[in-house]
A and B are shown apart, each in its own frame.
Chain A
Amino acid sequence: MSERAIQLYKAIGEADPALLEAAEAYRPKKPRKWMKTVSLAASLALVIGLGAAAVRYARRDVSRPADTGADDIGAGTAQDHLPDSGLGAYDGPVLPLTVSDAANLTAARQVTLDFADFAADWPYAVSVTDRYTLTNAGDTPVTVTAYYPFIGALERPGLPEITVDGESADAVLHTGPYTGSFRETRDANLLDEPQSFAAYRDLLSDGTLFASALAETPELDTPALVYELRGVAYREPDRYAVLEAEFEYGPETSVFTCGFHGDSFSVEENGNGRTFGVWSSDGHSRYIVAVGGDIEDLAVHGYRDATLTEPYGAEVNQILRYESTVGEFLDRLAAEYAQDGPDAGADLYFGAPLSPDLGADDLSRELRRTFALYSRLGSDPSPRYRWEQLERLLRDTVTVRRLMVLEFPVTVPAGGSVTVESRMIKDASTRFSQEAGRAVSRIDIAGALGTVLPFTSATGELMNTDSVTLLDPDRPLDVPDMTLGPTEIGEVFTIGVKN
């Protein structure tokens, strides 16, 4: 185990004694089975754990025709009731349905936010039903490809459930690209995810990101030489060792690794060492991948610990060398991760398991895309991956928020209508407000952002709000018939919850 885990363990040990006392005295309220099946009645149970809570309704002063583009949504008028503490993460807005061609079609939208299970788990989450009545004013049937975009992550279970006139749609998932960028600090290069509705508006308004989500998987057929280090044999009784793989390579060669510990990773520029610590034998292979050339003089030595000072009787059982391509190797990593997940290789992967709704192909597609963009050999290399540890690329691929799209066909009869509905659980974006002394959450709903559908109306409804108090500093909020209106479809709902 690395020093950093122990460091965090000790930091947690510094927790305020008052918090410890409260934690020790705390008696959780056990869930009642009926909460899961009776959604309306469940709102009564929401009082538990919420205490005094508040929902603020924040109105954007947006006036524009219903069928114009998305650029006007909230532009320049974004209010922000939420003090930015630097803690928490923005989970992105609920995005609207769009179609391949809106000819002759209009849409009436109704969004329902159900707070029944808002506080049942953490982070707080709202059940969102996003319903569209598509009407065909023409005299011939219209068949279009519909796209329902949402902000998700490969680790996150539960895809939106799409129905067309009540029938489950046969939807194809496009996992789409990372929605953020990277931020360099003195010591680190951080993921820099969009932290506001405005940031998502900027990202999505020109359609580029959306098009990327539907793009083909990068081929990545560059030849690669793979060295697979299999198993560990001990000649001494204490079955723990740090193994160092030493090798040489020239400047024409790029070397990537997987399974070598970050904290003992000590390679210098064009250096020649990679190390990993191993308990007993964890059964996982370690990989060294050479691209553009080969490595030479590979040798593996055992040491007692990461200082690499005291030799120890441990060695790798078997080293295989085979020819592959970068893409094929990433497929292999994705397949291993999809099968074993990070739990099977806690010493290898520090990420989250792949969502049960996704498979190795989904992971592989995005791993290839991430590599093609951000690796040392990518089109836009990021310093975050400068150490060429593929598990970091893999972990980020699984955990970062990305634009995902469900694609399905819809036929609207001449002079008729169909109803398209998406149901999903949406995490609230939660920040800690120093000013308010409490955690404040928000759910944002984007109006026409990125859609070509002309809306004739857009209404909103809140359900099971018994446990939250609705506040509106500017005007009364008429619940449940809260009308967003066709000229206000860029509204943002801000939900404040006292911690």
Chain B
Amino acid sequence: MDDAEIVGLYWARDESALEATRTKYGGFARSLAVNLLGSAEDAEECAQDAYLALWRSIPPERPESLKAYLGRIVRNTAADIWNRAHAKKRDAGLTVLLSELEDCLPSPSDPQAELESRELGRAVSAWLRTLDADSRALFLRRYWYGQELKTLAREWGVSANALAQRTRRLRISLRAALEKEGFII
């Protein structure tokens, strides 16, 4: 079943939409949640919350890529769960990932410097397009999919330390790009 058909089921309020989503993207949603939360239990809770959010948001939403849309919901749900739990386990996936991202956006002391996620998202996407395919894939695998460095290091055929250095340089580049766009103080 293609995405448009599944989205059509949601619009028809047909609960088989959820079954179709689980069948097609359940593994993806679960592994993404595990990457981000580092715990099977939390990941299961995250996936269930994400399906519920999917059901509630379509309609009115009509995503072209159901997978990307579900992934975004899983990521946001994971952030909520992480916030609630304060990530008691310090080495949980999202905790480490967020601490890495922290240096990309030095904090505004001035509350007026509140940033809008969409605007920031556009700047991030513009920056992503400046990267070569390898660097872009690496960045997104790490910071969108939440894959661990050691997993990526195996795939890239380099040491985790070397990859950490590389992702650090990418973050520095992102930071420079965002600063150029006025997102940084």
Interface of A toward B, CB cutoff 8 Å: 1-2, 4-17, 19-24, 26-31, 49-50, 85-89, 119, 121-123, 185, 187-191, 238-240, 261-263, 265, 279-280, 342, 346-347, 350-352, 384, 387, 392, 395, 399, 430-432, 439, 499
Contact = CB atoms under 8 A, between A and B. Distances in A.
Contacts of A4: 102, 105-108, 115
Contact of A14 (B117, B173, B177): B117
B26 to A, nearest CB: 16
A350 B125 contact: no
A428 B181 CA distance: 21
B124 A8 contact: yes
Given A7-B117, A10-B76, A352-B168, A19 B128 contact: yes
A23 B166 contact: no
Contacts of B135: 122
15 contacts: A11-B120, A15-B128, A20-B65, A20-B71, A21-B68, A86-B180, A122-B169, A122-B173, A187-B185, A188-B185, A191-B179, A261-B107, A265-B107, A395-B106, A439-B132
Interface string B127-139: 1111111111111
B55 interface: no
B122 to A, nearest CB: 8
Contacts of B68: 17, 20-21
Nearest to A240: B86
A387 B113 CA distance: 15
Contacts of A13: 71-72, 75-76, 121, 144
B98 interface: yes
Closest 7 CB pairs of A and B: A30-B157, A14-B121, A188-B185, A262-B107, A17-B68, A26-B137, A23-B140
Given A7-B117, A89-B176, A122-B170, A280 B90 contact: yes
B95 A1 contact: yes
Given A2-B102, A88-B176, A88-B177, A188 B121 contact: no
Given A5-B99, A7-B117, A24-B145, A86 B72 contact: no
Contacts of B123: 11
B83 interface: yes
A352 B106 CA distance: 13
B172 interface: yes
Interface in B77-96: 79, 83, 86-88, 90, 94-95
B60 interface: no
Contacts of A261: 107
B173 A123 contact: yes
Nearest to A27: B155
A23 B32 CA distance: 14
A436 to B, nearest CB: 12
B182 A19 contact: no
A165 to B, nearest CB: 34
Contact of A5 (B64, B71, B86, B102): B102
Contacts of B170: 122
B102 A499 contact: no
A123 B75 contact: no
Overall SS of chain A's interface: loop
Interface in B131-172: 131-141, 143-145, 155-158, 166, 168-170, 172
Contacts of B129: 19, 432, 499
Given A7-B115, A21-B65, A432-B130, 5 more contacts: A8-B120, A13-B144, A23-B144, A88-B130, A122-B134
B105 A384 contact: no
A188 B137 contact: no
Given A88-B176, A346-B102, A28 B137 contact: yes
Contacts, number: 220
Contacts of B179: 190-191
A188 B105 CA distance: 12
Contacts of A430: 130
Contact of B103 (A9, A29, A279, A342): A342
B75 A9 contact: yes
Nearest to B166: A121
Contacts of A347: 99
Given A17-B68, A20-B71, A86 B181 contact: yes
B75 A10 contact: yes
A86 B176 CA distance: 10
A87 B126 contact: yes
Contacts of A238: 86, 88
Given A190-B184, A191-B179, A6 B98 contact: yes
B97 interface: yes
B54 interface: no
- Which of A21, A49, A188, A190 has the most chain B CB atoms inside 10 A of its CB? A188
B158 A392 contact: no
A31 B101 contact: no
A17 B79 contact: no
A6 B125 contact: no
Given A15-B140, A23-B136, A346 B99 contact: yes
Given A23-B136, A31-B157, A439-B130, A7 B105 contact: yes
Contact of B113 (A50, A187, A352): A187
A3 B166 CA distance: 25
Contacts of B7: none
Contacts of B23: none
Nearest to A237: B88
A408 to B, nearest CB: 29
A11 B64 contact: no
A17 B3 CA distance: 13
A351 B105 contact: no
A1 B125 contact: no
Given A14-B121, A15-B121, A187 B105 contact: no
A66 to B, nearest CB: 37
